[in-house]
Structure 1
Amino acid sequence: MTEPPATPSRQQDSFAPLRNRVFFVLWVATIVGNTGSFVRDVASSWLVTDLSAAPAAVAMMQAAAALPVFLLAIPAGVLSDILDRRHFLIVIQLVLAAASVCLLVLSATGLQSITSLVTLTFIGGIGAALMAPTWQAIVPELVGKTDIKSAVALNSLGVNISRAIGPAVGGVLLAYFGASITYGVDVISYAFVIAALWWWKRPAAPEDPFSERFAGAFRAGLRYAKASRDLHVILARAGVFFVFASAVWALLPLLARNLLAGSAGFYGILLGAVGVGAICGALIMPKLRDRYDADGLMLGASVLTAAVMAGLAFAPPQWAAVLILLVLGAAWLAALTTLNGAAQAVLPNWVRGRSLAVYLTVFNGAMAAGSLLWGLVAEAIGLPWTLLVAGIGLLIAGAGLHRLKIPKGEQDLVPSNHWPEPLTAAPIENDRGPVLILIEYRIDPADREAFVAAVSDLSRERQRDGAYSWGITEDAADPQIFIEWFMVESWAEHIRQHRRVSKADADIQQGVLSYHRGSDPPLVRHFISARK
């Protein structure tokens, strides 16, 4: 593991976001809401084992929960960037409450089936898909930049507090009162979340004639994700880790019932142990972050998760399985907070929801694909061998990807606002386009190679901020003249591009400008489609 420079103040500031009243209230509300969700999930996961003992059927529940996020997270991220996030979250909570009411009614009337469980779990996954990027995107609205990683860690801590409480409560309720009462507790939890969101008086966004529409915002988000190398690294690390680690989650109900001879209550205890382990991990994470960098933490998480799968494969006594799941909770917390914190740190606010949605798409796609894969493998070779194969794969992948360094996210992504307003002969309609921008540089022949390399780095910035095409050309008659060109969809999108350029981008541009040898700044011209 690589050790970064020590930063003693980091541990002291780990709980600083809780001093923010709005963050604290919403944080507590999410704990209540997630506790209800874990209560619901325990009931659904256990009920499906009553209806079918096939590993593929059990794994299908995990896939049904994760697949909607894989399919819908990016559109949800677009909505989180263009709609009022508070109102959007309230509507989502109402949808999730309605799904739990249906589960309650079906269980109370004895009409529950695998089809209904999978279908309503899928609908719950749709709600989670819509909610996840929005909930994560509001973090920078509630805390300052220096507290973002601490806020992300606290959100993960809150989820795992719920994981520690919810499964145990769900197991007890299911064992003593039945599924309908268990689902009823989940319905009640949504009332607390809705009340907290209603209490939060989020400042209304000012009217903006250049505000994005869904289709354009969707394309802009995909362009940013495609051009961001930092995000690519995070996505690769996340996808590989979660494909292998999903095995233990997909097969845990069957492990508890068949391999460990446990009841519904014991399954809840196992999930609660994961939550308790994650809470313990959250308490020591500040010290670990002071000692190890993100790559070291991910390697450690991979080793511990693989060890957990190997330990469970040998059907340990129930008390030992509980202790093993404590380790899984700590490792899972370390992986989630490391990857999520890195993603938050490399994203500017204007595209945060959409890009976090891409991250969630990869996360849930890996979980869904991995769940189905390991369910089928378990049917072929059995639970113990499946866990061993997944654990060995995770060890190999974790060691192999350790050299693919996770970005630190230390760039200043605040808008620089240093681009001057473009000169126009007359007002231009916002939706008119496409727009071609030409920038003329005069470059000393001796600097040609260095300039081309520098302007190539600039191309990624242009494409992240809105350009769908970019190029650099040189004058055949005068080798000192270079023309950088890029195209954007519309005039409004180009104005938004002006607003998106960050201070880190400005530094890259300044590096390119240092090669310009003209007495005047590079000439910038705007050409717009003649066809309206």
Structure 2
Amino acid sequence: MRAPAALAPLRHPVFRALWLANLASNTGLFIQNTAAGWLMTSLDGRPIMVSLVQASSMLPVFLLALPAGALADIMDRRHFLIAAQLWMTAVSFLLCLLTFGDALSPWGLIALTFALGAGLAMSFPAWAATTPEIVPREDLVGAIALNGIGFNLTRAVGPAMGGMVIAWAGVGAAFLLNALCILVLVAVLLGWRRESARSRLPRERMMPAMRAGTRYVLATPAMHAAIIRAVTFFLFSSAVWGLLPLVVREELGLGPEAFGILLGCMGAGAVCAGLFLPRARALTDRGGLVMFSSLLGAGAMALLGLVPHWSAAALAMVVYGVAWIAAASTLQAAAQMAAPAWVRARAIGIYQMSFFGALALGSALSGVLAGRVGVPLAMTVFAGCAALGAVLVRRWPLDPPTFAPVPEAALARPEPPAPELRGLLHGGERRLMEVVRYRIPPGRRSAFLAAMEQVRLVRLRGGAASWRLYEDVAHPERWVELWTIESWAEHLREASRLTEEDRAVLARATLLHEGDGPPEAARYVNVRS
């Protein structure tokens, strides 16, 4: 019997082993989240404190995603991931000990939840960048979708399991179970023999790597669209995570088992939706799917806030799970496909920083609002804002633009450096200025300016610290493009960072040049600041 197409990436042994280990680890994560949220309702039941538990688990991603992404791009990702998992294991054991000893205060719970979130924040970009190196390109989209299905499968099982563990053995046992689940993933990572790519260039340093990642995202419209749409969706959808413990305890009058089951309903809806997402994506583009999912999620939130009955709450959470996985996986795929391998972890880190920051802020704001107007009205207000936001941001397209084929063109190439300057270039971090001179007939001026706007983005994505275009006031047909690079090593990396689309952009501008050969190119090194 042939396996479903959605499971095809599991035929790759490394991906399969890591995927199964992540199932165990993520199950522990949701057990931990369920236990922490429920414990806070006993330690301090004020809405703001309950919502701060969720916010404190998400805030570290906002603070650490960019440095985590830079480290994941410049270090061995396997070692980096092992260190992050061991940190989370230690924090989980500490939570267990303090809970069993009845020594955990409300702010202590928030602080340790933040520390656990810091480990997750360091892991997320590395995991996102690891998937493309353990599956071939033809299975990449399927692997991303399967990761989402696995994550939401544990979202269905973990909270329900957490509710049962809390009811039978207490919150401390739930924290202990989380630590043991993380150790399963550590064991698999220790057995993974990752082949690291070797380069003759020196390893990137932390701060330049972070700056390069930031420049890439700022110069990539596809990343802008993914981030704007994600922030809008997650900011208002976060009310469910911040207020659900209070909905269960105060509005429904139920216990931890029901809390876990409702979270399990959300996960079940997400898993079912994940299996049918390929068919849904064939019916509409990414932007349309995200907008529909946002409106669906807003309706589920309104139902959760307005109808105080467990059956309506269960239905609302199933629908919310469908909306969540459809929007989240589509946005994640759009961001991941917009970033090449050299910067993928950093770009995904910035994307995750944006949407986790929105989740943390939204969770906290929902708690503040619920403290003033009550949980049902706060949930309804956030639902209305989610629907309005989905309509307002629909003009940012998530699908990449299509370009007409471009004829091959000889791109500008500078001369090799003089032997007497090689020591100067390799001996420090001296800034370089790169120059390309064009001769453009007056009739091509408008087309050239349009083409150079795209060239500007290519240079900035490749690592340029600044970019300028000048026109000769005496000879309007003469143009000079110049940009600066932080060092010779960054300049050498610049060429390797060009994608096929980038080369096509440069070719369009080159074809507008009038002359016997390509535009003239030169490089200048800074000798005095």
Mapped contact 2:412–2:519 kept (Cα < 8 A)? no
- Which residue number corresponds to residue 338 of structure 1? 330
Confirm or deny that 1:281 pairs with 2:278. Answer: no
In the other structure, the counterpart of 1:204 is: 196
Is 1:510 paired with 2:503? Answer: no
* Letter aligned with residue 95 of structure 2: L
* Aligned twin of 1:101: 93
2:471 is the counterpart of 1:489:
no
Partners in 2 of 1:493 and 1:88 — Cα distance? 24
Tell me how far 1:207 sits from its aligned partner: 4.7
Of 408, 411, 417, 1:424 maps to 417
Cα distance, 1:448–1:268 mapped onto 2, change above 3 Å: same
Match of 1:245 in 2: 237
CA shift at 1:417, angstroms? Answer: 13
Within the alignment, does 1:172 sit opposite 2:164 as a pair? yes
CA–CA distance in 2 between the matches of 1:410 and 1:146?
Answer: 20
2:400 & 2:263 partners in 1: Cα distance? 32
Alignment partners' CA distance in 2, 1:362 and 1:119: 22
**Change over 3 Å in CA distance of 1:43–1:132 after alignment to 2:** same
Equivalent AA in structure 1 for residue 453 of structure 2: S
Return the alpha-carbon distance in structure 2 between the equivalents of residues 501 and 352 of structure 1. 14
Which residue among 517, 525, 530 is the counterpart of 2:522?
A: 525
Aligned with residue 305 of structure 1, among 297, 300, 315: 297
SS in 2 for 1:14: helix
Tell me by how many angstroms 1:19 deviates. 1.4
Q: What SS does structure 1 have at the residue aligned with 2:426?
A: coil
Sort the Cα spacing of 1:118 and 1:24 in 2 relative to 1 into closer, same or farther, 3 A.
same
The alignment partner of 1:138 has SS state of: helix
* TM superposition shift of 1:14: 3.1
The alpha-carbon distance between structure 1 residues 45 and 215, as it changes in their structure 2 partners (threshold 3 A), is same
Identify the residue that residue 81 of structure 1 maps to in structure 2.
73
Residue 459 of structure 2 corresponds to residue 466 of structure 1: no
1:400 to 392, 397, 401: 392
Aligned length: 519
Letter in 1 for 2:134: L
Q: 1:430 to 1:203 in 2, by over 3 A?
A: farther
Equivalent residues of 1:417, 1:501 under 8 A apart:
no
| Counterparts of residues 340-355 of structure 1 (less than 5 Å) | 340-355=332-347
Counterparts of 2:235 and 2:308 in 1: how far apart (Å)? 24
Contact 2:222 2:400 in 1 (8 A): no
Runs of 4+ in 1 over 4 A off after TM superposition: 409-412, 416-422
The answer (yes or no) to whether the contact 2:412–2:518 under 8 Å persists in 1 is no
Give CA-to-partner distance per residue, 1:447-473, whole Å, 9 cap, x none.
112112211210011011111111111
**Cα distance in structure 1, aligned partners of 2:464 and 2:306:** 54
| Distance of 1:200 and 1:478 partners within structure 2 | 62
The change in CA–CA distance for 1:66 and 1:418 in structure 2 (over 3 A counts) is: farther
Going from structure 1 to structure 2, the CA distance change for 1:371 and 1:335 (only over 3 Å counts) comes to same
CA contact (8 A) 1:346 1:411 kept: no
SS in 2 for 1:136: helix
| Match of residue 479 from structure 1 | 476
Give 3-state SS (helix, strand or coil) of 1:211's partner.
Answer: coil
2:351 to 334, 359, 362: 359
Matches of 1:31 and 1:341, distance apart in 2: 20
Cα distance, 1:419 vs structure 2: 7.6
The answer for the alignment partner of 1:272 in structure 2 is: 264
Please report how far the alpha carbon of residue 442 of structure 1 lies from its aligned counterpart in structure 2 after TM superposition: 1.1
Which residue number corresponds to residue 455 of structure 1?
A: 452
Amino acid in the other structure paired with 1:81:
D
Change (3 A) 1:108 1:245: same
The one of 436, 441, 452 aligned to 2:438:
441
Q: 1: distance between equivalents of 2:4 and 2:118?
A: 38
Tell me whether 1:72 sits opposite 2:69 in the alignment: no
Partner of 2:288: 296
Q: Deviation digits for residues 320-339 of structure 1, max 9, x if unmatched?
A: 32122111111100011000
Name the CA distance, whole Å, in 1 between partners of 2:455 and 2:174.
Answer: 55
Q: Whole-Å Cα distance in 2 between the matches of residues 365 and 472 of structure 1?
A: 36
Quote the offset at 1:314 in angstroms: 2.1
Rounded Cα–Cα distance in structure 2 between residues aligned with 1:394 and 1:461: 34
Please state whether the residue corresponding to 1:31 is helix, strand or coil.
helix
Identity %: 38
TM-score of the pair, normalised by structure 1: 0.94
Deviations 1:367-388 (A, max 9, x none): 0111111111111111111111
Structure 2 unmatched runs, 5+:
none
TM-score w.r.t. length of structure 2: 0.95
Residues 417 and 498 in structure 1, CA contact (< 8 A), matched pair in contact too: no
| Amino acid across the alignment from 1:303 | L
Moved more, 241-250 or 476-485: 476-485
Query: Does 2:111 align with 1:114?
Result: no
Task: Return the alpha-carbon distance in structure 2 between the equivalents of residues 473 and 417 of structure 1.
Answer: 22
After the TM superposition, which of the residue ranges 207-216 and 299-308 deviates more from structure 2? 207-216
Give unpaired runs (5+ residues) of structure 1: 1-10
Q: Secondary structure at the match of 2:45?
A: coil
Alignment deviations for residues 332-356 of structure 1 (CA, whole Å, 9 cap, x no partner) = 0001100000001111111100010
